[in-house]
């Protein structure tokens, strides 16, 4: 029977349940087990697609077009678990499904209630991932124990153990052990209260993972074990990692978490093979180069808004043996202060996606700077569209060129609404979403990166390159090097006379992994490393060393 692991959080939010769940999944996979990952979110939105990046961080898109929580990005980066719309459910989706059933008469006149109807729906969603070919399903419960909106999910996972047998379920609680500087003490009381709330619901955690700034001593572990009713070996320290999140799985192994899980669930496995993971951490710690990349975005001050972008840059750094120093620059600041002032000295510029007019001119200025200075440039989604606008204005001399998203009356709509989007008025889940096929030009830089003439990448957009202008762009040196299979949609543009200028309509960051850097990010960072090594001061330093 498929085993189930439920990961809950207590004391405060943002402790890293998603990262911890992904790490557990990776460790079990490295032991040879088939793992599936799932996130249950307590908010009422049907999906994160209509939520502000400032509140929720990035919207992570899957191959099937599902707009999901950013924690699913951790799942894909750490594991090989196939993800689908069954991997992320929200309260909104649960209630929507139950209400639809009630309208259809499925409940045959029953009074529809949170228990059992909502909890049964939640349990059915969890069960969807189980199967003969699946050894373990890891389900992360969003929010914090004590949140009123989380209660139906916690009640559902309490019942789940009764349905499938306690021997097939494991409860892991992630909690915080705060350090009080004034008292010079680690405090366990918040964890005791958090576990107490879980036990009142009827869930006794099997394992406690304790986030902490300082290492736990034997006395603290013994105290936590006594008051939380767990064996002392089930109190697992997860100390803050100053260097990299990719050290988390190795730390959990060192504290025996994976061994404890397989023993508790009666799983027959070998020892985990972590050689590739240890190698990537070694590369991170011992880079041969150090470069600076400016990410010029609309949400630069909110790190989670471009979470996958930053991770993909790290992955490309690992594959190029380079330390990537990211400068997060708000596009409005570029608009106010100028690209020359804010972008001087960087080795490459990346302009990511976004929606709305705010900060667009700053993105355009940053792209002009990269194009004119020969700086390696990678544009993603809106970044590609801004690159088209910049080239139209400053090379084609099409005065007032713009996207109709920002100026419906522009005389030169070089970016316009997709035909399939023209009749759509609803916002949620209505964009061009999910994996789409792109055909690559054989002579393109993209083709050289991918090593294939056809690829599939994930999309999330409503606007596209206006084909009316395609010949004008090509005549002046900006080539369309990737299109949809029928040639109708522009997916990639390049400037072949530039050292490295590539912009794509899709989101390559969603398919990058620490052990397998995405080809475009690898190529971009490789170009930035070459640019850095060709700086006059670097050449002088090398000659002096010689």
Catalytic residues: 381, 507, 509
Q: Is 389 helix (H, G, I), strand (E, B) or coil?
A: helix
Helix extents (H) in 338-456: 339-343, 360-373, 382-394, 445-450
Helices assigned H by DSSP within 494-535? 519-533
Where do the DSSP E strands lie in 384-431?
Answer: 402-403, 413-417
Q: Cα–Cα distance between 359 and 459 in angstroms, integer? A: 22
Name which of 13, 58, 16, 6 is nearest 149 in CA terms: 13
Establish whether the linkage from the previous residue to 439 is cis, with ω within 30° of 0: no
Give the max Cα distance, the chain. 86
Query: Cβ neighbours of residue 474 under 8 Å, at least 6 residues apart?
Result: 480
* Cα separation values, 516 from 247, 513, 538, Å: 17, 5, 29
- Range 255-264 contact pairs with CB under 8 angstroms and sequence separation of 24 or more: 257/24, 257/27, 257/207, 257/209, 258/24, 258/27, 258/28, 258/31, 260/207, 260/233, 260/234, 260/236, 261/5, 261/24, 261/28, 261/170, 261/207, 262/28, 262/31, 264/170, 264/206, 264/207
Packed helices 307-319 and 275-285: angle between N→C axes, nearest 10 degrees: 90
367 within 8 A of 384, measured Cβ to Cβ: no
Tell me how far apart the alpha carbons of residues 456 and 508 are, in angstroms, rounded to a whole number.
10
Does residue 218 contact residue 226 with C-beta atoms inside 8 Å? no
The C-alpha R_g of the chain, in whole angstroms, comes to: 25
């Amino acid at each position: 029977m498929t085993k189930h692991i439920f990961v809950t959080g207590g004391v405060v939010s943002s402790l890293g349940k998603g990262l911890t769940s992904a790490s557990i999944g990776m460790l079990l996979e490295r032991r040879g087990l088939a793992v599936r990952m799932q996130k249950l979110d307590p908010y009422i939105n049907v999906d994160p697609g209509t939520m502000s990046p400032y509140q929720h961080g990035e919207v992570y898109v899957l191959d099937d077009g599902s707009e999901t929580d950013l924690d699913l990005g951790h799942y894909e980066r750490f594991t090989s678990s196939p993800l689908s719309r069954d991997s992320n459910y929200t309260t909104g989706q649960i209630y929507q499904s139950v209400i639809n059933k009630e309208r259809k008469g499925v409940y045959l006149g029953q009074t529809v209630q949170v228990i059992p109807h909502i909890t049964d729906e939640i349990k059915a969603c969890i069960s969807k991932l189980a199967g003969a070919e699946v050894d373990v399903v890891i389900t992360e419960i969003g929010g914090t124990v004590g949140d009123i909106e989380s209660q139906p999910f916690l009640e559902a996972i309490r019942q789940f153990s009764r349905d499938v047998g306690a021997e097939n379920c494991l409860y892991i609680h992630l909690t915080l052990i705060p350090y009080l500087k004034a008292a010079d003490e680690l405090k366990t009381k918040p964890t005791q209260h958090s576990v107490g709330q879980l036990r009142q619901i009827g869930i006794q955690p099997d394992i406690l993972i304790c986030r902490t700034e300082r290492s736990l001593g034997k006395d603290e572990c013994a105290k936590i074990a006594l008051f939380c009713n767990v064996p002392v070996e089930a109190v697992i320290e997860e100390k803050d990692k100053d260097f990299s999140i990719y050290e988390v799985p190795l730390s959990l192994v060192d504290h025996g978490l994976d061994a404890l899980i397989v023993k508790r669930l009666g799983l027959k496995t070998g020892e985990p093979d972590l050689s590739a993971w240890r190698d990537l951490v070694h590369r991170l710690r011992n880079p041969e180069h150090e470069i600076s990349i400016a990410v010029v975005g609309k949400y630069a001050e909110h790190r989670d808004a471009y979470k996958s972008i930053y991770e993909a840059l790290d992955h490309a750094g690992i594959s190029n043996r380079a330390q990537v120093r990211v400068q997060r620059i708000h596009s409005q600041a570029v608009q106010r202060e100028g690209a020359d002032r804010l972008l001087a000295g960087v080795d490459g510029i990346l302009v990511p996606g976004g929606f709305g007019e705010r900060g667009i001119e700053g993105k355009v200025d940053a792209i002009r700077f990269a194009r004119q200075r020969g700086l390696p440039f990678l544009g993603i989604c809106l970044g590609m569209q801004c690159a088209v606008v910049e080239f139209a204005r400053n090379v084609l001399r099409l005065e007032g060129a713009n996207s109709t998203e920002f100026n419906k009356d522009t005389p030169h709509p070089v970016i316009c609404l997709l035909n399939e989007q023209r009749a759509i008025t609803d916002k949620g889940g209505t964009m061009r979403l999910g994996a789409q096929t792109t055909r690559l030009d054989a002579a393109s830089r993209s083709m050289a990166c991918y090593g294939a003439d056809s690829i599939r990448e994930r999309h999330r957009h409503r606007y596209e390159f206006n084909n009316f202008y395609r010949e004008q762009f090509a005549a002046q040196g900006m080539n369309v090097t990737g299109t949809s299979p029928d040639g109708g949609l522009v997916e990639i543009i390049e400037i072949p006379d530039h050292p490295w200028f590539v912009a794509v309509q899709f989101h390559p960051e969603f398919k990058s992994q620490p052990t397998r850097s995405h080809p475009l990010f690898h190529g971009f960072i490789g170009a930035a490393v070459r640019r850095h090594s060709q700086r006059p001061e670097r050449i002088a330093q090398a000659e002096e060393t010689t």
